[in-house]
Structure 1
Amino acid sequence: MQTHISTTPFGRRAMTLGQIASQATAKAMPKEVTANKWRVFEDIRKAREMLGATDRSLAILNALLSFHRETELSADGELIVWPSNEQLIARANGISPATLRRHLLVLVECGLIIRRDSPNGKRFARRSRAGEIEQAYGFDLSPIVARAVEFRDMAEAVQAEKKAFRVARERLTLLRRDIVKMIDAGIEEGVPGNWGRVLQTYQAVIGRLPRTASRQLIEDICAELYELHAEIRDVLESFIKTQNPNANESQSDRHIQNSNPDSPSESEHCFREKKEASGSVAEIDNVRSLPKRDLPLSIVLDACPNLREAAQSGEIRHWRDFLAAAELVRTMLGISPSAWQEARKVMGEVQAAITLAAIYQRSDQINSAGGYLRSLTDKARDGKFSTWPMVMALLRAKLDEGKHRQTSEIVTSESGSRLEVSESLLKSLRRRDR
């Protein structure tokens, strides 16, 4: 008796060209082809995103495969299974009938199974008197065998993509760590260079990185960071080559000289500059009593809290953040690049940034920020300027302003943190009031 193999779905379900293509692929496969159903299922699981399958649909496919007795599926064997919805729901961990129907449709659209519906939509098999299956209506697993090689290639491609993505993220992490720490090293070791601008460039590149980025975008950002990494490393290596064996000692001596003026009168003269440059910046007496070391970042931020507003993240935790904020402040104050470059060359990167922060803190009292910076640069070139008196003047102004509320000898910063001041520093700050 001649039988007809159903190619269209039962009821109102429409036939699509994709379903016809899946049936044609299954029909054209050689009869000698075999495939291990669980190995193919594992490939499908790895490539599920590429196929468009879902976790639920794969759970149903796993249940369908379990209804076939053989582990090795053969093209010349019977590949149709006909479980009822109740049996499928039981083996798919008790999903709802609506969910079952929806994800069976997903499997059909992905080309993982083929519907072989009976005239009334029931799933069953008709057997001969010998017990052999003459006609079966249900789900055809032929695509599992016919597309086994395709699924394997897709799984390998997905794994390769995941590995490339992981390598790209690792490279990004290493580049970010190297760049940040090399910038810190350049700042702390006093290597000449516009580190604030370098950090701004780094932040601009990283700012284009979304929370979830594609591999291509990560690789593009890595390429830009690699160029920046090479530039920074060249600067550091060139600086090392130009230094003599006692470079660290000479560098430290230079910092100490910049932190201490030659005489108290010279410091006073610096802070009693003409009003055309500075307005009314307070003078500091007895400069020689100030500590002979670099200014800590916490003291500078306590004296110049307005700089926090200019920081891109609103926080300044390291000197590199401080330099980036100073670079933004420079443009806000209208200071020319040439004046800024000269200040950095004479004072050093950090000292110039501290000077700029102090100018920004008193910007309402300064008529020409650029002219004032040039004046301080000239004095620093002659060894008559230090950032210590300027910062201490700002701290003393804060102490005087809050004198009626403070009973202890503690300076409270705007960020809520507390800064303890040594007895010798307080004596220096209040010597003028005695």
Structure 2
Amino acid sequence: MQTGNVTTPFGRRPMTLALVKRQIAVAEIKSGKSADKWMIFRDVKEARETFKLQPYSIAVLDALLTFYPDKELRQDAQMIVFPSNAQLQVRANGMSGATLRRHLAILVDAGMIVRKDSPNGKRYARKDGAGEIERAFGFDLSPLLARSEEFALAAQKVATDRREFLQAKESLTLCRRDVRKVISAAIEEGAEGDWEAIEAVYLDIVRRIPRTPSASDLANILDEMQLLYGEVINQLDMLGNSEDISTNGAQTERHIQNSKPESINELEPSSRTEQSARPSEISRPKREPIKAFPLGMVLRACTQISDYGPGGQIAGWRELMSAAVVVRSMLGVSPSAYQTACETLGPENAAAVMACILERGGQINSAGGYLRDLTQRAEKGKFSLGPMLMALMRANAGNERQAG
């Protein structure tokens, strides 16, 4: 059990106010809180760049967790591990001593672990008469439990950002292809207009794509490319040539639709003999969003989810969605699976589904597999959240009558 004492580092290692605050925060872990250590580790690993952790730092954290005997980190348990540097080096795939010490310091500075140094700086544990650990000196893993919700939310954000980046990259590639081919078709077929100048604008936009673009870079470039595309199509409409271009490009579009561009900087061919593509292909049909059920209905059907909201209660959809991310991590659902559910069902309905999965507890063997199955069924129009909520509401009502 944590005592809440603030300890200072051994030797010449300095004490900082940040270290004091972290140790105080560890002492304030909610009573009875527990979490799977490997689920926490997966979230930290997924969001390692958010916390400025290097791959070697993740390897050292992995090694430290192997010395903790239980699968779950618990607030009422002793969470200090005390391996020697030699033992850690072995479990960190033979990492050198200097590298190990550097990455232990990085983990401390990042607030992932806290040093609990003994009077002589050695790591060891003192046991009582019954053989139980009475006091230990080493590395305290409590910060991982204290910040488990933060790690889960950070991992989910990384998954969301990655998906948005890939979607923006795909959209820009498609838009570039359409603009390139429509301009080429206009020049090839002798359409009226200053197409050389329009092509120069296109090439200028392409040149400004960074070698390693960020999501915001892609969004800005995509906006410019879509504006150019709109201007090109408008000019062709005024000339009465849009119908011809759409017809000539049909066969080419069917051929290239199956290709997957690997690089955003792959320049489309500018040959004047290439066939044109249909301008309409840039717009993809989107499925109508699934209507969200009333929040009150969700909370009546899923009573347990409120425990994971801020202060143990949920007052709005934002709180429910944050609680669902915490539950997602606790149940072992990957960030990518939950992000796909959010995109298919909508964020409110995805959060409601996580609340339903939590409510059903032991009836579901794999929460991640179950969520993916529901998502796939929803994509085919074969899933509705209503029956699930109604069944849980009836079950809760029955339990209340039995208790009464």
**Sequence identity, in percent?**
45
Residue 167 of structure 1 pairs with residue 120 of structure 2? no
- The alignment's C-alpha RMSD in Å is 2.4
Q: Does 1:197 align with 2:197?
A: yes
Distance 1:243 1:28, change over 3 A: closer
Query: Deviation string for 1:155-184 (max 9, x for gaps)?
Result: 001111111111111111111111100001
Instruction: Measure the CA separation in 1 of the matches of 2:85 and 2:99.
Output: 11
Q: Against the structure 1 CA distance between its residues 18 and 6, is the aligned structure 2 distance closer, same or farther, given a 3 Å change threshold?
A: closer
Name the stretch that deviates more: 106-115 or 184-193. 184-193
Kindly indicate whether the alpha-carbon contact (under 8 Å) linking 2:233 and 2:242 is maintained by their aligned counterparts in 1. Answer: no
Gap change, CA 1:104 and 1:242, over 3 Å in 2: closer
What is the aligned counterpart of 2:271 among 296, 300, 318?
318
Aligned equivalent of 2:231: 231
Cα distance change, pair 19–88 in 1 and its aligned pair in 2 (3 A): same
Worse overlay, 17-26 or 181-190: 17-26
CA contact (8 A) 2:185 2:272 kept: no
Contact 2:37–2:73 (8 Å) recurs in 1:
yes
For 1:108, the equivalent position in structure 2 comes to 108
**Does structure 1 conserve the Cα–Cα contact (< 8 Å) formed by 2:184 and 2:270?**
no
Q: Deviations over 1:16-68 (max 9, x none)?
A: 23222221221111121001000000000000000111111111111111101
Change (3 A) 1:195 1:123: same
- Alignment partners' CA distance in 2, 1:82 and 1:242: 73
- The answer to whether the Cα contact below 8 Å between 2:82 and 2:137 also exists between their aligned partners in 1 is yes
Deviations 1:229-277 (A, max 9, x none): 0111122233336999xx99xxxxxxxxxxxxxxxxxxxxxxxxxxxxx
Q: Say which SS state the counterpart of residue 145 (structure 2) adopts.
A: helix
Which runs of no fewer than 5 residues in structure 2 stay unpaired? 249-268, 275-404
2:121 and 2:89 mapped to 1: Cα distance?
18
Conserved? CA contact 1:31–1:74, under 8 Å: no
Task: Give, in angstroms, the shift of residue 5 of structure 1.
Answer: 4.3
Counterpart position of 1:67 = 67
User: What's the TM-score, normalizing by structure 1?
Assistant: 0.55
Query: 8 Å contact 1:6–1:118 — kept in the other structure?
Result: no
| Cross-structure match for 1:55 | 55
Question: 1:197, CA displacement in angstroms?
Answer: 0.3
Q: CA deviation at 1:6?
A: 5.3
Which has more radius of gyration? 1
**Correspondence list, 1:73-84, <5 A:** 73-84=73-84
| Distance in 2 between residues matched to 1:219 and 1:241, nearest whole Å | 30
2:226 counterpart SS class: helix
**How far apart in 1 are the matches of 2:25 and 2:222?**
43
The answer to whether the 8 A contact 1:168-1:219 is kept is yes
Residues 125 and 227 (structure 1), Cα distance of their counterparts in 2 relative to 1, 3 Å cut: same
With over 3 angstroms needed to count, the CA separation of the structure-2 counterparts of 1:4 and 1:30, relative to structure 1, is closer
Inter-partner Cα distance in structure 2 for 1:194 and 1:17: 65
Q: Is the Cα contact below 8 Å between 2:6 and 2:24 reproduced in 1? A: no
CA deviation after TM superposition for structure 1 residue 213, in Å: 1.4
Residues 96 and 120 from structure 1, CA distance in 2 versus in 1: closer, same or farther, beyond 3 angstroms?
Answer: same
CA offset at residue 317 of structure 1?
Answer: 6.2
1:269-280 to 2 correspondences below 5 Å: none
Q: CA offsets, 1:280-302, max 9 Å, x none?
A: xxxxxxxxxxxxxxxxxxxxxxx
User: Secondary structure of the equivalent of 1:49?
Assistant: coil
Deviations 1:177-221 (A, max 9, x none): 111000011111221110100011111122211211111111111
Deviation at 1:9, TM superposition (A): 1.2
**After superposition, where does 1:13-28 map in structure 2 within 5 Å?**
13-28=13-28
1:319 deviates by 3.8
Q: Which amino acid aligns with 2:271?
A: H
Q: Which deviations, in whole Å up to 9, do the C-alpha atoms of 1:377-423 show, x marking residues without a partner?
A: xxxxxxxxxxxxxxxxxxxxxxxxxxxxxxxxxxxxxxxxxxxxxxx
Within 5 Å, give how 1:209-358 maps onto structure 2: 209-240=209-240, 318-319=271-272
- TM-score normalized by the length of structure 2: 0.59
**Corresponding position of 1:32:** 32
Aligned pairs, number? 250
Q: Deviations over 1:45-93 (max 9, x none)?
A: 0000001111111111111111011001100101000000111001000
Aligned to 2:147: 147
